Amino acid sequence: MCGIVGYVGEREASSVLLSGLRMLEYRGYDSAGIAVMSDGDVQVRRSVGKLQNLADLLEADPLQGRCGIGHTRWATHGRPSEENAHPHRAGRVVLIHNGIIENFLELRAELQRAGRTFSSETDTEIIAHMIDVAIQGGSDLLAATRSTVAALEGSFSIVVMSRDEPGRLVAAKSATPIVIGVGEGENFIASDVPALLEYTRDMLFLEDGEIAEVDCDGVRLSRFDGTPIERQPRRITWDPVTAQKGGFKHFMLKEIHEQPQAMIDTMRGRLLLEAGDVSLAEIDLGAQWWERVERIDLVACGTAWHACLVAKFFIEKLARIPCNVDYGSEFRYRDPILDDRELLIVVSQSGETADTLAAVEAAREKGSRTLAVCNVVDSSIARRVDSVLYTHAGPEISVASTKAFVTQLVALLLIAVHLGRRRGFVDADTCRQLLEEMLHLPTPLREVLDRADDIEAVARRYAKAENFLYVGRGLNYPIALEGALKLKELSYIHAEGYPAGELKHGPIALISETMPVVVLLPRNTAFNKTMSNMKEIESRGGQIIVVTDTTDAAVDAVATDVIRVPTVNPLLMPLLLTVPLQLLAYFVAVHRGTDVDQPRNLAKSVTVE
């Protein structure tokens, strides 16, 4: 989720690039840089931290020229530092990149054998070297880019320039977005529309597997294999704020829709399908560390705590290691029994949550190993733990966590498989089947997103309710908690989650015709028991919204409303069931007119105890 900008024309490139990058700051950043063709060479300026640092640097040491590229980085490979900031240079080539190159270790080793040396820890730098090697071999910039992208695996967008071809930019897209802004005597490139709206509203959107050759006279599109493409620009009428939200009404809705891609990005390069295993080389807790783990403490806050509750099911089922789940705010105060046989796994989107960080300190003091599942590279938690497994959700802007949660579940399931395979509790065939289904999960997830209108209709019917209950069983019980948390955060409706079997031990007293109950009812071993709970609710006049993968008429007979989801492996059901609950909470909040992206009293990172 980096920000990319390119410009060629008659204006001062550095100011166009800087203003474009400012409009992309919402995508997250930890460093930024620009490169401009100036005095027969490409000059680069980069700085760590906010974009203003780069602006200050450019003021002190300006770059003059009419063609250039700019980048704000959201780190994935390598910590945020000036060396790791883009643009990256290799010989005559300067390049910016958004995405992840999966085979970068093999490619880098190959380049090293050919005598190339590297100045950063990034996967990006290898692309610049590969293009430079191809140019040295006689290719022009376009042909060199084409042969290079053919060798890359992963998701990427790149923009590249060469000092040998001034006034020319080449952009290539495999998965992450690239848009070309078409002007008169000038053209623009960006990872997102808002960066260009100040200059043009005529946009050409690159599709996966396409390359654009851009100079001030025009834009030529082709496929990676060289087939030319004819495409007319589209006129964009969005205002700048809508453009930042990708045309969605709120960041939250955009982030809900980004979940299939976020899941893919989090799995990318980590699944070994043939072996029925996963590769989590990032987790380095000592040789054969998994053999020494006798207990696991899972600690987090809020939504991330719900991910820990699901992870307990994953790990205990697949790896048979006893797990305890704690709130960050409770963990250290209960004087936990910890030693070096304990593994502490903390889960945090931001990596800055004070209570979760304090749990890390408590565990370290007692000699336990610490592992974080985290979304923000080099955040406080990421720096303090022994190892980090990053989720690749990209920046989450809406205060209510959505895509971070599903990627946390993906990462935690990968850890469970990793432990289970190494400790011999789960065989390759079982894991292969699970991982294959996991790889295909974005498809059923998109099917649920496609039913957003139906979920909105349900939300409209219940938007005036003042209380809600959510119930589920087993590993879907934490999803009931998460559904309730989303609803209360966004709409300020009082909502509680319970294990369905607990209803009769107290909460059933609340059931009346004014109490909607959301029931998670996947077709699994607990189906009949949850159906009985539904009947108990029905006989007390409760309104029942069922989320289920069955088409069973008996369900429709008891339910007031039914939201249907596709059937997936029971271990993956929590990931899928999360999505309709996010949409339900979102649409209820929209109907009540609350501030969806910044609900009252809440902050995105809770950095105080």
Indicate which residues carry an active-site annotation. 2, 604
Per CB under 6 A, does 84 bind ligand M6R? no
Per CB under 6 A, does 354 bind ligand M6R? no
CA distances from 478 to 306, 311, 375, 482, 520 (A): 5, 10, 21, 6, 11
Number of DSSP helices (H) and strands (E) in the chain, helices first = 20, 27
Contact segment (CB under 6 A) with ligand M6R among 15-23, 97-105, 173-181, 298-306 equals 298-306
Per CB under 6 A, does 350 bind ligand M6R? yes
**Listed residue (493, 472, 492) closest to 482, CA to CA:** 472
Strand partners, 14: none
DSSP state of 393: -
Candidate list 145, 353, 407, 491; residue touching ligand M6R; CB under 6 A:
353
Interaction mask 473-502, ligand M6R, x per CB under 6 A: ----------------x-------------
Reading the block at residue 487, the tokens are: 């609803």
**What span, in angstroms and rounded, lies between the C-alpha atoms of 286 and 322?**
21
Per CB under 6 A, does 399 bind ligand M6R? yes
311 vs 399, beta carbon nearer ligand M6R: 399
**What span, in angstroms and rounded, lies between the C-alpha atoms of 203 and 215?**
15
**Which residue shows structure tokens 């997830």?**
445
Q: How far is the CB of 353 from ligand M6R (least distance, A)?
A: 3
Q: CB burial class (10 A; 0-12, 13-18, 19+) of residue 57?
A: middle
Q: Which residue is nearest to ligand M6R (CB)?
A: 302
Candidate list 400, 480, 558, 568; residue touching ligand M6R; CB under 6 A:
400
Q: How far is the CB of 362 from ligand M6R (least distance, A)?
A: 16
**Which residue shows structure tokens 């930019």?**
169
Interaction mask 302-321, ligand M6R, x per CB under 6 A: xxx-----------------
Q: Provide the b/e sequence for 37-54 (b: ≥16 CB within 10 Å).
A: bbeeebbbbbbbeebeeb
Per CB under 6 A, does 578 bind ligand M6R? no
Q: How far is the CB of 51 from ligand M6R (least distance, A)?
A: 23
**Which residue shows structure tokens 């209709």?**
457
Q: How far is the CB of 382 from ligand M6R (least distance, A)?
A: 11
H helix or E strand, kind and range, residue 498? strand 494-499
Candidate list 204, 301, 511, 544; residue touching ligand M6R; CB under 6 A:
301
Per CB under 6 A, does 543 bind ligand M6R? no
**What span, in angstroms and rounded, lies between the C-alpha atoms of 183 and 172?**
20
Peptide bond into 87 cis (omega under 30): yes
Q: In 10 A of CB 570, how many CB atoms? A: 16
Per CB under 6 A, does 326 bind ligand M6R? no
Contact segment (CB under 6 A) with ligand M6R among 156-164, 263-271, 288-296, 297-305 equals 297-305
∠ CA 602-605-609, nearest 5°, is 85
Contact segment (CB under 6 A) with ligand M6R among 63-71, 158-166, 167-175, 348-356 equals 348-356
Per CB under 6 A, does 253 bind ligand M6R? no
Per CB under 6 A, does 380 bind ligand M6R? no
Q: How far is the CB of 348 from ligand M6R (least distance, A)?
A: 3
Tell me the residue length of the chain.
609
Contact segment (CB under 6 A) with ligand M6R among 62-70, 358-366, 394-402, 410-418 equals 394-402
Residues of this chain that interact with ligand M6R (CB under 6 A) are: 301-304, 348-350, 353, 356, 399-401, 489, 602, 605-606
